[in-house]
A and B are shown apart, each in its own frame.
Chain A
Amino acid sequence: MLLIHCPYCEEERPEVEFAGAGEAHIDRPKDMNAMSDAEFEKFFFIRDNPKGVNYERWRHIHGCGRFFNAARDTVSDKFLTTYKSGEKKPEVATQKPVQGAKK
């Protein structure tokens, strides 16, 4: 079970308290009705699903109830950072494991 840092509760909490909510930083257009079919398709159906850093939405559904965003490495499954919804997308790099024991 992963630990996920909730930016609102300001601590790491067990994964079971959270629910994933899809890709982040997809804003609902102000004027939905002006969208072409192709634009709607891109907005609603098409997702990046990258190998590496993925920006995604999570909800601390069994905690403070807030939606927030996370950058997660889809290769290592690691949460690289989490931040409040509405905040700017942070630049993060995937982490490489360190050779040799730590001690």
Chain B
Amino acid sequence: MSAQNRIKGHGQLSLAKTINFTFDGTTYQGLEGDTLASALLANGVHLAGRSFKYHRPRGILSAGPEEPNALVNIARDSTRSQPNIRATVQELYDGLTAESQNRWPSLAFDFSAINDGLAPFFPAGFYYKTFKWPPKAWDKLYEPIIRAAAGLGKSPAEADPDRYANRYAHCDVLIAGGGIAGLTAALAAAKAGKKIILCDENPNFGGAILYDNALEIDGLSATEWVEKAVAELAALENVRLLTRTTAFGYYAQNFVALAERVTEHMAEPDPALPRERLWQVRAKEVILATGAIERHLVFADNDRPGIMLASAAQKYLNQYGVAIGANVGVFTACDSAWAAAFDLKKAGVNIAAIVDLRDNPPLELQEKAQTCGIRILRGYTVTKTSGRLRVQSISVQPINGGTVEQIRVDALLNSAGWTPSVHLFSQSRGKLKWHQDRDLFLPDIYVQDCISIGACNGTFDENELIAEAQAAGNATRKKAKAIRIENQSSWAGNAIGAAPGAGPSDNVKAFVDFQNDVTAKDIRLAVREGMHSIEHVKRFTTTGMATDQGKLSNMHGLAIAAEQLGKNLPDVGLTTFRAPYTPVTFSTIANHARGPLFDPTRKTPMHQWAVDKGAVFEDVGPWKRAWYFPKAGEDMHAAVNRECVAVRKKAGIFDATTLGKIEITGPDAAEFLNRLYTNPWTKLGVGRCRYGIMCREDGFIYDDGVIGRITDDRFHVTTTTGGAPRVMNHMEDYLQTEFTDLDVHLTSTSEQWAVIAVQGPLAREIIEPLVEGIDLSHEAMPHMSVREGKICGVPTRLFRMSFTGEMGFEINVPADYGESVWQAVYAQGEPRGLTPYGTEAMHVLRAEKGYIIVGQDTDGTVTPHDAGLSWAIGKAKPDFVGKRGMRRPDLVAEGRRQLVGLRTKNPKVVLEEGAQIVATPGQTVPPAIPPAIPMKMIGFVTSSYWSEALGHSIALALVEDGHSLEGDTLYVPMEDRTIEVEVSGCVFYDLDGGRLNGKN
């Protein structure tokens, strides 16, 4: 199709650059530089969408980010499909494919438009009132229906294949908005040598003056002046210019978020480019030059396609060369719509009439209209419009009453005046003030180092605006060079609230909020029903809650509510402006943090070896740990059983690198440990180790681990894998702020060492040939000792310790050597049955021995006594963290949950971890079938495994007064049965611990 509404000689686009695009299956032609909206209008397409609630046909209302109607779905391919794109900001590219939304089966015939006929049944608050009772209907009936009907657009089903980027940036001055005010401020600030970021949401700088054909600046046309200003700025090193970049959030301390759309306008984006980039800017000063948004008038049937903001029509004509109709009416309360009418007239469009609500619009406008032969209706209002899919006529009437006249039009411009865009100022926590004389909310109290200039500050006069912008950009320097302004047009004139003819006594649909279908009547109803604050009115009617966030509707809604309440407008309150200013994709906010960068994945130096051996991994915090090493045909159960047996009978090799390690040095290191751990440390000899428990001040177990004394003033502390960072923080806290008398330093060495645990009866003979300088004999190196020497020629800290109950060693080597030493040990041991085992076997082996895992068998409310670890408390020590806490009344009371072993009566049954425990049979899991006895939980299972070594299941559990229940029978009710268990001690295997010394 050809673009019949494109007028030769108008606009700033090159007619030569024609591109194709598709809307709802029809292919059209547009020009490079078009928006989707301007291209549709060039082809005479006004109907662009359906409204949310009533499914009324809607046209393109605006030419900017405030667009409430023309929301479309744009799909580059099946994975790149994005709903709710505003056609007015989407730049056209060759091959762009757009679909209208919220209609079925087609935009011209939408089945749900029946809602419009049923409108009397859908008043404000309809959903709140209707879907109330009975409660059961919510799940089955109301929610499914509402969910199906609700929502704008469809989200894509596949993962987003594009990449998104982030950039932190710092500058002296951030200028949001690159219209005449922003550009002037930027020029002034740049010349003062400041580091500047200037951003604008549009593809080009210039803002509203780009479509002001009359304006002359320093003898240049507006477009020439903008071009010169931008060229000047672009040449400066201290200036960063960002177009297609919306400042959407203003946070504390001049931290401003910008969303840059990098490739949205490209037909074939370079895959190296991110689709969007988030800028997180910290600015010493912020200059807000965000302009103003023209409001629509609230009159009957003001939502028909073809009814458009006057400034939008002017922009389509002067920037894109598109006439929005051939016979256009104008309905206004503001001077600027007259200028739009004159431009259209000059381009050959018939202006059917200018209907002005004011009795006395400026004389020079009236004279000019008369000169052009335009009919003027002063003190008139529009009472009605007609036309289903496109406006066909308007009915006009004097405001004071009188004859109604119908005027045929194919488009209607309208303007209620301009609302300063104070969104970012308001987000900065600045306070607005109502200016009664001008019907404007303007910035008043600033709480951050920022300043508003130009239209967003209510400064519409270009001369004043230039002075304001120059002062803002270059406050400290002498007066900047004057800029000469000629032929500026006026933005004066305001109407807020419903226009005459849509007042309280009129039963018409005069839309306030187009996207959410809120009419003046709805707002009045909300007030009548008791919503007296604008916050309540907003939530009850949903005005201002659509994706456009009330950019057009907020002031009208406020005025109508104020009128209905009989209050002054500022007394009704103003809803809070929140980020984002315009919708921002989740991907932009997530940016790099997707896939492998969502969260760091930590791997040990031996990871690849385990991968090569076919290990299955589990996530332990950020770490990948080998869970088990299945052989061909083995399931997890079989693999774990085999690994456990190997450790008990021969030897196993285990990667313990992830354990936290802290080097504690200094003359007071032992005393520091005395205060931080429950155990005594002073007498621990050099070369010996001890199992330590760390509590918080409240007396509960916080962490545990084995600590070795390397020299008098140097300890090697281990922590749990997950506890490493918080233990370090806890220690630093006490060291820096409480125990400042101690000469101690802490260094994390978690990743300095790779740790290879070799456990089992053959452990010693396997590693012995590789070790130099250490006597491994039982006498020279007994259980719980540590030696320094060499293994495979590299330095090692060799621990004789065990988390399996078998004789074992933990070989610490500098991490770069971890893999190589592991391979050497494995090569040495494999012929003798050395078996790699994973974390699951490790869990089974330690549970057979009743060794706790902090965080699994404890939950932050378990004391060392509860866990059966009273032996680890240094009772002679005068103080340690947690000592006083342990004497708290609740911690010494009876009935505390204590750690016990459980054996199922049927040895084959393995309990579920987390299962609840009761004292008597017959108690069942809710929902209980009468006459069952309700459950009284006395504890729960913390660890549970099948023990191949013992031939029966084992479990650990926290049970009320459990230590006194040994031998008693308890019950574990499950959904389908109740399991009988017997309470035992926590140690199941090798009760006297002889195997630690290579006996039994």
Contacts and interface: CB of A to CB of B under 8 A. Distances in A.
Given A3-B282, A66-B736, A32 B445 contact: no
A35 B884 contact: yes
Contacts of A32: 879, 883-884
A59 B730 CA distance: 11
A78 B429 CA distance: 12
Contact of A33 (B251, B443, B878): B878
Contact of B740 (A77, A86, A98): A86
Nearest to A19: B729
A28 B22 CA distance: 72
A33 B879 contact: yes
Interface in B846-883: 878-879, 883
A79 to B, nearest CB: 9
A101 B697 contact: no
Contacts of A35: 884
A19 B878 CA distance: 32
Nearest to B168: A14
A98 B445 contact: yes
A19 B725 CA distance: 12
A9 interface: no
Contacts of B447: 76, 97
Contacts of B181: none
Given A3-B282, A33-B879, A101-B451, A67 B446 contact: no
B656 interface: no
B879 A101 contact: no
Interface in A65-84: 65-67, 76-78
A85 B735 CA distance: 12
Nearest to A12: B253
A32 B252 CA distance: 41
A102 B883 CA distance: 56
Contact of B446 (A31, A59, A78, A98): A98
A68 to B, nearest CB: 9
Contacts of B740: 86
Contact of A2 (B253, B452, B884): B253
A1 B443 contact: no
B826 to A, nearest CB: 38
Interface string B441-484: 00111110101100000000000000000011001000000000
Contact of A44 (B449, B452, B738, B885): B885
Contacts of B472: 103
B451 A102 contact: yes
B732 interface: yes
A59 B452 contact: no
Interface string B735-746: 011101000000
B471 A103 contact: yes
Given A37-B889, A100-B445, A3 B738 contact: no
A35 B145 CA distance: 62
A2 B252 contact: yes
A92 interface: no
Q: State which size class the interface on B falls in.
A: 20 to 34
Given A44-B698, A59-B729, A102 B737 contact: no
Interface in A27-63: 27-28, 31-33, 35, 37, 40, 44, 57, 59, 61
Interface string B423-443: 000000001000000000001
A44 B697 contact: yes
Given A2-B253, A44-B885, A103 B445 contact: no
Contacts of A44: 697-698, 885
A99 B431 CA distance: 9
Contacts of A76: 447
Contacts of B255: 1-2
B680 to A, nearest CB: 16
Interface in B203-252: 251-252
B475 A103 contact: yes
Contacts of B451: 101-103
A93 interface: no
B81 interface: no
Given A1-B255, A32-B879, A103-B451, A67 B732 contact: yes
Interface string B711-731: 000000000000000000100
Contacts of A19: 729
Contacts of A78: 252
Interface in B242-285: 251-253, 255, 280, 282
Contact of B737 (A3, A61, A85, A99): A85
A72 B282 CA distance: 21
Interface in B738-762: 738, 740
B442 to A, nearest CB: 10
Q: Which of A33, A59, A101 has its CB near the most chain B CB atoms (within 10 A)?
A: A101
Nearest to A97: B447
A99 B430 CA distance: 10
A3 B884 CA distance: 38
Contacts of A101: 443, 446, 451-452
B888 interface: yes
Contacts of A67: 732-733, 736-737
A101 B456 CA distance: 13
A102 B698 contact: no
Interface in B884-905: 884-885, 888-889
Contacts of A1: 251-253, 255, 280
B252 A77 contact: yes
B175 to A, nearest CB: 14
Nearest to A57: B737
Contacts of B729: 19, 59, 61
B518 to A, nearest CB: 34
A26 to B, nearest CB: 10
Contacts of A86: 737, 740
A40 B884 CA distance: 8
Given A40-B884, A61-B729, A67-B733, A99 B280 contact: no
B736 A28 contact: no
B507 to A, nearest CB: 45
B736 to A, nearest CB: 5
Contacts of B452: 101
Contacts of B698: 44
Given A3-B253, A40-B885, A102-B451, A65 B444 contact: no
Contacts of B889: 37
A28 B738 contact: yes
Contacts of B446: 97-98, 100-102
Contact of B888 (A27, A37, A57): A37
Interface of A: 1-3, 19, 21, 27-28, 31-33, 35, 37, 40, 44, 57, 59, 61, 65-67, 76-78, 85-86, 97-103
Given A35-B884, A59-B729, A61-B729, 19 more contacts: A1-B252, A1-B253, A2-B253, A2-B255, A3-B282, A31-B879, A32-B884, A33-B878, A37-B888, A44-B885, A67-B732, A77-B252, A78-B252, A85-B736, A86-B737, A97-B447, A98-B446, A99-B444, A102-B446
19 contacts: A1-B252, A2-B253, A3-B253, A21-B733, A32-B879, A32-B883, A32-B884, A37-B888, A44-B885, A59-B733, A66-B736, A67-B732, A78-B252, A97-B431, A97-B445, A100-B445, A102-B451, A103-B451, A103-B475
Nearest 8 interchain pairs by C-beta: A32-B884, A97-B447, A28-B738, A67-B736, A3-B253, A103-B475, A85-B737, A67-B737
